[in-house]
Amino acid sequence: MPADRTTPNDTTVPDAPDDTAATDPGGPAADGAELIRFDKVTKRFGAHTVLDALDMTVHSGKHVTLIGPSGSGKTTILRLMMTLLKPDEGTIMFNGDYLTHEEKGGRLVPAGERHSRAVRRNIGMVFQQFNLFPNMKVLRNITEAPVHVLGLAKDAAEERARELLDLVGLTDHLDKYPGQLSGGQQQRVAIARALAMRPKVLLLDEVTSALDPELVAGVLDVLRDIARSTDITLLCVTHEMNFARDISDCVMMFDAGRVIEFGPPEQIFTAPEHERTREFLSAVL
Amino acid sequence: MTFDWSAVGDFLPAFFRGVLVTLQALALGSLIAFALGLVWALAQRSARKAVRWPVTVLTEFVRNTPLLVQLFFLYYVMPEWGVTLSALATGVIGLGLHYSTYTAEVYRAGIDGVPAGQWEAATALSLPRGRTWTAVILPQAIRRVVPALGNYVISMLKDSPMLFAIGVLEMLGEARQFSSQTFQTVEPYTVVGVAFLVIAYPASLLLRALERRLAR
């Protein structure tokens, strides 16, 4: 239902912590089931509270962009989703299952490694620093997980990898090592690698921040293409406001560990309600 | 003092037997040191204290006591407990065990040097833990530490004459035996000294070249 995603009055609605009225308006426009739910998630680093009792939901198929000043907790959300961090309080649900916890004997306990592994199999992530495996050629970077996690036959995995390399425009480079590619090309391989696992949600963590300016457009074009042509859910942290405006169904403004404002991009970028949002946007736009 | 070239010729057959034993001890000792060192390094990253702690005690103990004492212990004390091995086997195990405590540190540094992003990418792809180690972390870690491992092989070569103390007839042992039979001392010991240089120096040059290549 790609048409739904372009409707401005869309449903991917996180419950802002302060806003009691912001229950899920769902309603007729909702095209996907609830995929991600943060429930009173708090994350601290030492004395610094990065996320403060955050509630938010993301529905399947939606493209949600997190914006806000650095240190406001955006990347932390992605890292919690990827189980690279554990929350100090609260729970995260993914695809109808607890991500951070598991039920044992009727009680909710912090998730063990096995449980986390099973749930996060449907979550993909692209990192700011690409994090390709430098000891493997491009093709094997992409086939490694499908073969060893999904149990795909090597031929099938390579075919899938070739299709994805075609999608990101790097078919000629499958036999190279990551070190032989430009940053932009490496990031496009990293996108293909994440997609090869057919995740339900793709987490994009400032994927163009480490790139030389002239390489940014190529990567964003690939992502626009993916946003348009697939029904994958995107959760995206970016400083590229034009990109955010293009692909998002919902933009969330973060400040000091809280969502202070959210809504469709037209609303956030043209008529922000919150003073902090206005300040932030005037600084970055 | 005269240098008698004919004595050199007389010594050569025994010398080559010794070279063979030295290289054998070095090769097998290295294999043990590389394999055991990796075991120690991985054990010390275990989440379980019951695994980490004994390994730390063992490696610190072995690293901080002399190789010669360890060789004597293995050769003369172990038989009291019913473990009797040939001198060469004892020597190989002694060298390998001793150097494994150093290679463990080398591996540790190599593993620590793999960027956190590699672990995160492996997590993001749900790679199983074993696969993450064998396909992602260790290939990168070991690549970085090949020169350091090589340096320990050269050290081990230079420590190999200690095996003579438990009766292994490696190069030095053969020289000693030859000199006690012929009363020629200059020639056999000179040949052995030169032989160490001839093996060790090109090896260290090779390592330096390798280091430059791997550094890229």
- Give me the DSSP letters along B21-50: HHHHHHHHHHHHHHHHHHHHHHHTT-S-HH
Subunit contact B128:A148, Cβ cutoff 8 A: yes
Q: Is residue B6 part of a domain?
A: no
Chain B nearest C-alpha distance from A149 (Å) = 6
DSSP structure class, residue A129: T
Q: HSE-up of A193 (CA within 13 Å, CB side)? A: 32
Sorted by sequence, the CB contacts under 8 Å of residue A281 that are 6+ apart come out as A241, A268, A269, A272
What's the first-to-final CA gap in chain A, in angstroms?
Answer: 32
H-type alpha helices, A127-212: 138-148, 154-167, 183-195
Give the count of beta carbons closer than 10 Å to the beta carbon of residue A160: 20
Nearest CB to A82; choose among B117, B123, B139? B123
pLDDT at position A109: 87
Contact A21, A5 (CB under 8 A): no
pLDDT at position A4: 42
Sorted by sequence, the CB contacts under 8 Å of residue A34 that are 6+ apart come out as A24, A57, A58, A59, A60, A93
Q: Is residue B1 part of a domain?
A: no
Domain ranges of chain A: 2-122+199-284
Residues of B in contact with A123 (CB under 8 A): 124
Which of B126, B127, B145 would you mutate first to test chain A, the one with the most A CBs within 10 A? Answer: B126
Cβ-based interface (< 8 Å): residues of B facing A: 115, 117-118, 120-121, 123-129, 131, 135-136, 139-140, 143, 216
Subunit contact A131:B118, Cβ cutoff 8 A: yes
- pLDDT tens-digit readout, B148-187: 999 999 999 999 999 999 999 999 999 999 999 999 888 9
Distance CA A254, CA A202 (A): 20
Most confident stretch, A69-73, B93-97, B164-168: B93-97
Q: Is residue B2 part of a domain?
A: no
Q: What is the mean pLDDT of chain A?
A: 86
* Alpha carbon B110 to chain centroid, angstroms: 18
Q: What is the mean pLDDT of residues A171-176?
A: 93
The conformational region for residue A245 under phi > 0 = left, psi -120 to 50 = alpha, else beta, is alpha
**Chain B residue closest to A192 (CA)?**
B125
Residues of B in contact with A193 (CB under 8 A): 125
SS3 assignment, position A137: coil
Residues of A in contact with B125 (CB under 8 A): 124, 144-145, 149, 193-194, 197
Q: What is the mean pLDDT of residues A157-169?
A: 95
pLDDT at position A139: 96
**Chain A residue closest to B144 (CA)?**
A135
User: A2-122+199-284: what fold?
Assistant: Rossmann fold (3.40.50)
Residue A29 has pLDDT above 90, yes or no: no
- pLDDT tens-digit readout, A194-252: 999 999 999 999 999 999 988 999 999 999 999 998 999 999 999 999 999 999 999 99
Total count of domains within chain B? 1
Q: Is residue B56 part of a domain?
A: yes
Q: What is the mean pLDDT of residues B113-134?
A: 95
pLDDT at position B216: 58
Give the count of beta carbons closer than 10 Å to the beta carbon of residue B215: 8
Whether A123 has its CB under 8 Å from any CB of chain B: the answer is yes
Residue A18 has pLDDT above 90, yes or no: no
The conformational region for residue A27 under phi > 0 = left, psi -120 to 50 = alpha, else beta, is left
What residues does A98 pair with on adjacent strands? A93
Instruction: Give the residue from A101, A97, A96 showing the smallest Cα distance to A41.
Output: A101
CATH classification of the domain holding B68 = 1.10.3720.10
Question: Token match 């592994």: residue?
Answer: A117
pLDDT at position A30: 47
Q: Is residue B85 part of a domain?
A: yes
Q: What is the mean pLDDT of residues A179-191?
A: 95
Q: What is the mean pLDDT of residues B183-203?
A: 91
pLDDT at position A157: 96
Domain with B161, as residue range(s), is 12-215
Sorted by sequence, the CB contacts under 8 Å of residue B204 that are 6+ apart come out as B151, B154
Subunit contact B124:A129, Cβ cutoff 8 A: no
pLDDT at position A64: 95
Sorted by sequence, the CB contacts under 8 Å of residue A266 that are 6+ apart come out as A8
Nearest CB to A145; choose among B118, B126, B143? B126
Whether A191 has its CB under 8 Å from any CB of chain B: the answer is no
Which amino acid, residue A203?
L
Name the band, by pLDDT with cuts 50, 70 and 90, for residue A81: very high
pLDDT at position B43: 95
Subunit contact B123:A123, Cβ cutoff 8 A: no
Residue A150 has pLDDT above 90, yes or no: yes
Name the band, by pLDDT with cuts 50, 70 and 90, for residue B210: confident
Q: Is residue B7 part of a domain?
A: no
Which of A99, A131, A144, A187 would you mutate first to test chain B, the one with the most B CBs within 10 A? Answer: A131
Which amino acid, residue A207?
V
Q: What is the mean pLDDT of residues A45-70?
A: 91
Residue A13 has pLDDT above 50, yes or no: no
Q: Is residue B3 part of a domain?
A: no
- pLDDT tens-digit readout, B22-63: 999 999 999 999 999 999 999 999 889 999 999 999 999 999
pLDDT at position A234: 95
